[in-house]
Chains A and B, each alone.
Chain A
């Protein structure tokens, strides 16, 4: 009885055992081929009878495009279960004789999976596959036979009986990838077609058993958790540099641990290592150990288990008597389309600091230049992808790189519109290349992601803070503009006086607060909405605020940037040397230059300039920091600056003054 129970325990552990590493899958990921074959052998040692078993399997794979077909031939993978029959109680006539051979064996259940195959579609993002397996079941049991001889004499004897049945099992699995996570869901193989005797005393389960697995995939490692109704497991796989010369494919080290969660308690631990020897050949070795912790297992429990068991038919040489095993194998690829060899020749990071406010800029201007070298003898098509955590992404157009060509690929970034971070942080720009539906990691570069208000000190970048379409800005500006339009209408030209009243309204209650920026902190610029709420700000904040409000009602503006040449000893707290300076605004009156006389302004106050519509109109220089003092003061100060910087110091032709149309 005890032996029988022990065997059952072993059966349970092995059948529920974890999968071994699919080396074809791993090896194909490193270099694609149409045909692949993997031969795996395993020595299983049984601690109960101290015997060793040699089992083996051969896996064949064919892949074309996204389609993949796989067949597995198992040798000596039979699982044998010995089950002690339950005591039989019958009433017999007194003279009945029961003969039981002394060597009468216990009931035996044999399950064998000689052949399995799978067909599926697999891509980087999603995949689905159907898999099938041939199951051969044999049961040898004893049955009591009572016969009546002549004269009413009864004879009872245990008679050996055999059953045999072949079944086809079918299962389904699929996966989907979201970012770095991959979710697998499926149904374990279930009998769908049977040949032979149908009613066996013991039989394989026939219910639907789901399973799930979640993987976290990174360029150099992957980690996963999986579960079904009888056990849970975890695995970790790490890629290590291959020390062999001229072999770029990495060594893979996989560790898997499993624990039973059903009636029977067991743990397993596996360690497998795969070493690519050439681009067509890889070797693998592994070891597995199983621990048991249960001593009792009734026949009833066994039957219930057997009817719902999960028989792992795909990868593992599961044997009933397994306690520890040693594995070795080889995987070959034939007719290989050797994966094109793309190498990272150079990577120039153009922007160490990524300003979230400049998302429009990074969409049109590269943050890095990648130089790829096609070391192959044929041209390749590839796509370069880049991710910056959850903040930004990029995928290039398909690029053709000729044989032995060096190609520069600009890396742009499409940053999320969601304002995610109020503080700056360190991020990692991960760059990879996709070819033949595979993604090869190329580089991870640390960058600083600055908060929404951070400004690089480049006046041109201020345009990214200007938000004439902001709802709150629009509402405020239009209300004030309406008030300006409905004011005194006798003064001519009306347009100029409306503009004067509008700017006066916009400047009311504004409080100038000098920037507290130090040399250690990146300058911060308020959004126009923030300035509206606070009614205070510095030079850049007011330029952004006034320009947003004016543009909200269709008035053209330009920023005048005055940059004194900074001495070398001065620490400039902005991105570009010499960028610190002062800003004022040019506002387009929309009036023809010949109307300058009607305004009562001189040539230093109203500047003749071409507007975005191609018309030469009068523009007013407005000093935004004194807006609260009224339009006249702001205009006078602006005109003084215009005269001093543009005419007197000749700032434009000397390069100290720059104009940025908005």
Chain B
């Protein structure tokens, strides 16, 4: 039961490297391994391409160019339908092991009053310390510039979910909102903006979030 070696069949893709260096995170060996010129890998893991690397992803007859100097989740590169994007977004949030809702089975009475308002926790976060941050952002920008909004959205969502401190960066947050808008995922846009509005930040930031929230609400009401 514990050491089961049976791995359920998951999507595998071929990676072909024309030049440069690329690595992928082997999920069971728990280490980064360099990719050979042509290698089949699991899709549900991360890949890192070095500067100047030219790599292609093959899945059956489809071929996709991969960005250089980028850090991304391989499966995000594969085109997805709207339903598949929603499922992938849900899975990204689930991977952070959310709290169980079963706590409500206990009657926990408040033992005091809470005053004040929620504020963002920025005391110990250091954005610059996020590993491969530039490469992660490169990947998003690459997908964005190539019109791959689905891959860009999933990469951006994955980045912000893993490192919530980036939500405080108006540029990063707005990029996520813009991608939701591009893909007409206004339910997600509404949820994200409402959650951020409950956490007071700068007036300018709040104004930006409110603007996107009103867009989401308008679209949802006119649907």
List A residues at the B interface (Cβ < 8 Å).
360-361, 364-365, 460, 539, 558, 560, 582, 586, 592-598, 602-605, 607-610, 614-616, 619, 623, 625, 636-637, 639-641, 643-644, 646-650, 652-653, 658-661
Contact among A605, A623, A646 for B30, CB-based, below 8 A = A605
Give the interface SS of chain B, mostly helix, strand, loop or mixed: loop
Bound CA span A603–B127, Å = 16
Contact B97 A659 (CB under 8 A): yes
Bound CA span A593–B160, Å = 11
CB distance from A295 to the nearest CB of B (A): 75
State which of B1-9, B52-60, B211-219 sits at the interface with chain A. Answer: B1-9
Contact A650 B2 (CB under 8 A): no
Contact among B28, B91, B102, B163 for A594, CB-based, below 8 A = B163
Contact A594 B161 (CB under 8 A): no
Question: Which residues of chain A have C-beta atoms less than 8 A from B103's C-beta?
Answer: 661
Query: Given A649-B8, A661-B100, A364–B106 Cβ distance below 8 Å?
Result: yes
Contact A644 B97 (CB under 8 A): no
With a 10 A CB-CB cut-off, give which of B27, B28, B31, B103 has the most chain A CB atoms. B27
Task: Judge whether B195 is part of the interface by a CB distance below 8 angstroms.
Answer: no
Contact B130 A608 (CB under 8 A): no
Task: List the A residue with the shortest CB-CB distance to B161.
Answer: A608
Contact among B1, B44, B90, B126 for A592, CB-based, below 8 A = B126
Contact B2 A646 (CB under 8 A): no
Contact B163 A614 (CB under 8 A): no
**Can you name 7 A-B pairs with beta carbons within 8 Å?**
A594-B125, A623-B2, A637-B3, A639-B30, A641-B2, A659-B98, A659-B99
Query: Given A602-B25, A616-B164, A597–B94 Cβ distance below 8 Å?
Result: no
A-B CB proximity, top 5 nearest = A597-B131, A652-B94, A594-B129, A592-B124, A643-B27
CB distance from A447 to the nearest CB of B (A): 20
Task: List the A residue with the shortest CB-CB distance to B164.
Answer: A616
Task: List the B residue with the shortest CB-CB distance to A619.
Answer: B97
Task: Judge whether B82 is part of the interface by a CB distance below 8 angstroms.
Answer: no
Contact B2 A560 (CB under 8 A): no
Contact among B2, B87, B165 for A593, CB-based, below 8 A = B165
Contact A640 B30 (CB under 8 A): yes
Contact B97 A658 (CB under 8 A): no
Task: Judge whether B14 is part of the interface by a CB distance below 8 angstroms.
Answer: no
CB distance from B77 to the nearest CB of A (A): 16
CB distance from A303 to the nearest CB of B (A): 72
Query: Given A593-B164, A647-B44, A659-B97, A364–B129 Cβ distance below 8 Å?
Result: no
Task: List the A residue with the shortest CB-CB distance to B27.
Answer: A643
Contact B127 A653 (CB under 8 A): no
Task: Judge whether B162 is part of the interface by a CB distance below 8 angstroms.
Answer: yes
CB distance from A21 to the nearest CB of B (A): 48
Bound CA span A186–B31, Å = 86
Query: Given A597-B131, A653-B90, A364–B95 Cβ distance below 8 Å?
Result: no
Of residues 1 to 54 in B, which have CB atoms within 8 Å of A's CB atoms?
A: 1-4, 7-8, 10, 25, 27-28, 30-32, 44, 46
Contact B102 A660 (CB under 8 A): yes
Contact A594 B165 (CB under 8 A): yes
Query: Given A607-B96, A646-B95, A364–B7 Cβ distance below 8 Å?
Result: no
Question: Which residues of chain A have C-beta atoms less than 8 A from B165's C-beta?
Answer: 592-594, 616
Contact B7 A648 (CB under 8 A): yes
Question: Which residues of chain A have C-beta atoms less than 8 A from B62's C-beta?
Answer: none
